[in-house]
Structure 1
Amino acid sequence: MKNRILLTFILSIFCVLQSNAKSKIDTIFAANLRPIGRTLINSQHNLALITSGAHFGFSFKGNECAIYVFITDAGSHNYLQYELDGAYQKRIRIDGSLKEPVIIKADGAGTHHIWVYKATEAQTGSLLFSKIAANNIKILPAPKLPLIEFIGNSITCGAAADDSDIPCGTGDYQDHHNAYMAYGPRVARALNANFILSSVSGIGVYRTWNRDSPSMPLVYENANFQVKDSLKWNFKTYQPKIVSIALGTNDMSNGDGSSRAAFDTIRFVNDYVKFVQLVKSKYPKARIALLSSPMIKGNSREILQRCLSRIKMTIDANYPADKPSATFFFEPMEPHGCSGHPSVAEHQILAEQLKPFFAGLLK
């Protein structure tokens, strides 16, 4: 009789312990996260990170968490990257065939903070998240900080910057993206600001690097930056303090070597002014920053700088009650990333050049 009572007692304790162990694992469904960047919740209640550097945060206790992430194209792949307890970690490849969650491990059983970023641009496709599981998991809201929107091309995306996993000249285009290490996010982190990236590889003000279309004004209002995208972005989602525009590299490019019309300064200036007017219609209180290109040298560099100065004068004259727009001219750079782009290390150089400029605008 005593043995039976003892056995019952032991079993009850075991059940309680097992129940407590199970109760420690919490789940956050991705639709409840609070992301920054162009994102959406799809019909399956998954969170889609669309644009370069779109990100969300959460905290948990223990040694690991499980992130349920996938992409819709079974034959393709994409990348996320993450920050753990304030320190950047690495990129993680997400294959279309992925069935298991991504496990992120931490040292120690204390409380840890994770920020997950999309490493690639919108053209690569969205990263889709269904849920996150961990002990005592909690959503981290976006910090209450000023916001900078960085509009630009592949340089702003952080494209072709990272050959740490796959050498340049091999793999696919997205294999060398690193949005977290691009100049914009670096500047924002250094100046204690939030950021969003609105950038497309090859894009320009009135043409792309090797075609007459599309252009940034044509796709900017579309959520996915696709020409035929019927879903429009809700610009009331954010109200940035600064909108940085870095376009012109691809308008001035010789393209892929095929026949290409000469750079049209008049059209460039006129279309650029119209685009700034479009941006100001979305963000009436934002300060506009016009950035040149570190990739353009010699006479072309002088032409671009004159164009940007003319654009600034026109915008300031058209909006006399607003704070004047600002221009920043990069020093020329010999890039060492993939396909003639700045590397991860060179993005740090660009960010160092830009920090005093943006610090002044944030004041």
Structure 2
Amino acid sequence: MKVKYWPLAVAFCAMCIGCTTLKRNDNPAAGQELSAASLQPLGRYLVNKDQNLELLSSAAHVGFRFEGTQVQVIASAPYAGGHSYLQYEVDGMYQKRVRVTGQQDTLVITAPAAGKHTVWVYKTTEAHSGPLVLHKITGTNLAALPAPKLPLIEFIGNSITCGAAADPSEVPCGTGEYHDQHNAYMAYGPRVARALNASFVLSSVSGYGAYRNWNSNGPTLPQVYEKVDFQAHNLQSWDFAKFTPKIVSIALGTNDFSDGDGKTPRLPFDSAAFVKAYVGFVQNVKAKYPQASIALLSSPMMNGARRQTLENCLTSIKNQIDAAYPTSKPVALHFFKPMQASGCTGHPSVAEHGIMAAELEPFFRKLL
């Protein structure tokens, strides 16, 4: 079922601004070129040996301006048989999600009228689905947009934070590949940030937890957090000096409580191990961002006794961190109202991410 979540103004704008994905042999009128390496990303990224920009984390994004009616974004998903997705805004209006395939695809963006325009391009999928590679922008009077001078919120979490399995509007649930239903732009974190006029980065991995994962004992999110792409085998670390969040939101626990696939041996949930690992992770985050406020979120997908146990654990974590850092701002807690998620594989849908964002907005507004 297609989820209708755009306001009428956005829908009208979507009729005015079109895009076409061209294959590598097409040659649209180019004009000037803007190197992707000269863009200024928000989110995790790296510049590869070919001087192309690899957007790594969910909703990692870059902005640029152009003049005229048309601009081209040259991108790729450089892995055999693979594909990625990007999403984009034109002049502050969300447009659509676009599939990127192969060594070179060209997204042609057409504005409704001549003049000066701004574009923001977002990676739709998560780090474990592979990078979205940007090669260059071609158009007229191009310039990279700097990261907005707004308070920054880092959202750490799992598949819910990624916006995974939320959007079956183009590829129905149960078909395609896991990342075909991702929609990072419409996940709760980016929506909260936009509502509060804040910037955001997502540091999230599907299936990962604080002391164990959905179907394994690790590596967990705390164990891969310092890796540039959250993958344990990568020797490259992320440079935490690139961004300084005002708030770090952490939402872990859903996967720690999971029963897994029923095939892999799974011990009962261990509250002490969960709290110990979570406390250690918060301490690591505080060491990197000593001035940031820490917010701990529960899970909207948990109900009953498990929900109560998670809330008790988070309260214990808050108390331990507050006691260890008496001069810091107290850890903030938010316990989600439970929901019966209707997205793919029991995840929140795009519409339900909107409900979560609306619930979180006053909570984060107070922290800002």
The residue number in structure 2 matching 1:282 is 288
Cα separation, 1, equivalents of 2:308 and 2:80: 46
The residue number in structure 1 matching 2:260 is 255
Cα separation, 2, equivalents of 1:141 and 1:167: 37
The residue number in structure 2 matching 1:68 is 74
The residue number in structure 2 matching 1:4 is none
Matched to 2:208, the amino acid is I
How big is the shift at 1:24? 9.1
| 1:45 pairs with 2:51 | yes
Cα separation, 2, equivalents of 1:130 and 1:99: 9
The residue number in structure 1 matching 2:112 is 107
Q: Secondary structure at the match of 2:68?
A: strand
Q: Deviations over 1:203-232 (max 9, x none)?
A: 000111111112011100000100111000
How big is the shift at 1:25? 2.1
Segments of 5+ residues of structure 2 without an aligned counterpart are: 1-28
Counting matched residue pairs gives 340
Counterparts of 1:155-234 in structure 2 under 5 Å?
Answer: 155-234=160-239
Segments of 5+ residues of structure 1 without an aligned counterpart are: 1-22
1:74, 1:95 within 8 Å by CA — same for their partners in 2?
no
In our comparison, the structure showing a higher alpha carbon Rg is 1
Task: Name the stretch that deviates more: 40-49 or 144-153.
Answer: 40-49
TM-score under structure 2 length normalisation: 0.91
Percent of aligned pairs with the same amino acid: 58
Task: Name the stretch that deviates more: 134-143 or 330-339.
Answer: 134-143
1:66, 1:102 within 8 Å by CA — same for their partners in 2?
yes
The residue number in structure 2 matching 1:8 is none
1:24, 1:136 within 8 Å by CA — same for their partners in 2?
no
Q: Secondary structure at the match of 2:213?
A: coil
Counterparts of 1:1-363 in structure 2 under 5 Å?
Answer: 25-96=31-102, 98-258=103-263, 259-362=265-368
How big is the shift at 1:293? 0.2
Q: Secondary structure at the match of 1:112?
A: strand
Matched to 2:33, the amino acid is T
Q: How has the CA–CA distance of structure 1 residues 160 and 100 changed in structure 2, closer, same or farther, with 3 Å as cutoff?
A: closer
1:60, 1:135 within 8 Å by CA — same for their partners in 2?
yes
2:75, 2:106 within 8 Å by CA — same for their partners in 1?
yes
Q: Secondary structure at the match of 1:136?
A: coil
Q: Secondary structure at the match of 2:208?
A: coil
Cα separation, 1, equivalents of 2:181 and 2:75: 20
How big is the shift at 1:99? 3.5
1:248, 1:304 within 8 Å by CA — same for their partners in 2?
yes
Q: How has the CA–CA distance of structure 1 residues 348 and 100 changed in structure 2, closer, same or farther, with 3 Å as cutoff?
A: closer
2:297, 2:336 within 8 Å by CA — same for their partners in 1?
yes
Cα separation, 2, equivalents of 1:274 and 1:351: 27
Q: Secondary structure at the match of 2:314?
A: helix
Cα separation, 1, equivalents of 2:336 and 2:191: 16
Q: Secondary structure at the match of 2:155?
A: strand
How big is the shift at 1:100? 4.3
